[in-house]
Amino acid sequence: MPVVAGLGIAMPAQAHQDDLWRGFFAEHYSGTTRALAQRIFANAGVRTRHAVANPLVEDVSGWPTERRMHRYLVEALPLGKEAVDRALTDAGISAADIGLFAVCSCTGYVTPGLDILLARDMGMAADTQRLFVGHMGCYAAMPGLGAAADFVTARGRPALLLCAELTSLHLQPASARVDTQQIVAHALFSDAAAAAVVLPGNARGYAVREVASVTDTSTADHMTWDVTDLGFRMGLSPRVPQVLAQHVRRFIDELLARHGLVLSDVDGWAVHPGGPRILTVVERELALPPGALDASRETLAAYGNCSSPTVLLILEALRQRPEPPRWVITLAFGPGLTLYASLLERV
């Protein structure tokens, strides 16, 4: 039985949302666009964020992609190492014990990659298998966790998952036209690294009962991440919450039914906060009780949308409660348009 037995989180320097607006972004908009952007920043549900490239200190919006990728490696290595080290310590094992090392990231390209360089620097064994999950966006932690859990089940050896995203390196130049999608991205996204150790046997933690997904390919253009000469550019359709509303209830009901459970059995929800509207839609469609998504909203406020690490940040918040939940659903959304979920049980 694969069990998430250790979690580790690492953050770069903190920045306050109001300071980012007043000290940088407000200066890049004018007229009605500025008023629109100010409303988006104020209503994003974000209080503080973290960034390796704080625009109050350095403006990377004019950097070519090559320079951004060099910076990605410089920043991602120590951040990933810190998260991995904390997860290993939490699980009570060493890097040499790891049989599979999976890394999720959609914000940087480097070869040799983080999986190879961190395996070397952390002292993993030469026969440690590696897996890199790229461009799956905000839901990547779930297929990463699924691969780790499958490896643990099949091989009986520990696995390690690292999600590392540095979205601050993809700040886009100010546009003369109204570009609501970029304003939303600039108001929400943040940097973080989160790691999870998955162990076989009777470990204490959260057993991975199932990882599931559903993709609506008719809406593939609703969420995009394009490589440009000036970094990666996000496309985020305002219709995403509508698509989620069509699928999320049946998706979660069927996942729970396969384990003889219903919605009321779930006492812990780690829903990726793609934005306040996303959480409101999930809350409504699943008819969740008041406070069910508090951990998701608190994570959004404290850290912003960190893409793939975010679900692990919420899981850690749930795990640290005086009475951790028994049944947890993790749920995230991304390109495809895809919904990914996992069912976890505290053991």
Catalytic positions: 138
**DSSP of 303-339:** H-B-STTHHHHHHHHHHTSSS--SEEEEEEEETTTEE
Cis peptide before 337 (omega within 30 of 0): yes
Buried b (16+ CB within 10 A) or exposed e, 183-195: bbbbbbbbbbbbb
Burial class for 123, CB neighbours closer than 10 Å (0-12, 13-18, 19+): exposed
Handedness of CA 303, 309, 313, 314 (dihedral sign): positive
Which token pair is 188? 């929400």
Residues near 88 by beta carbon (within 8 Å), at least 6 away in sequence: 6, 8, 94, 95, 160, 195, 197
**What single-letter DSSP state applies at residue 291?**
T
**Distances in Å between the alpha carbon of 307 and those of 55, 57, 122, 313?**
19, 23, 24, 11
Taking the chain, what is the end-to-end CA distance rounded to the nearest angstrom?
10
Length of the chain: 347
Give the angle 224-229-230 at the CA atoms, nearest 5°.
80
**Distances in Å between the alpha carbon of 34 and those of 57, 114, 183, 221, 275?**
22, 38, 10, 27, 20
Helices (H), the chain: 17-23, 31-42, 65-91, 114-122, 141-155, 180-188, 240-257, 276-285, 294-303, 310-319
Which token pair is 55? 């625009």
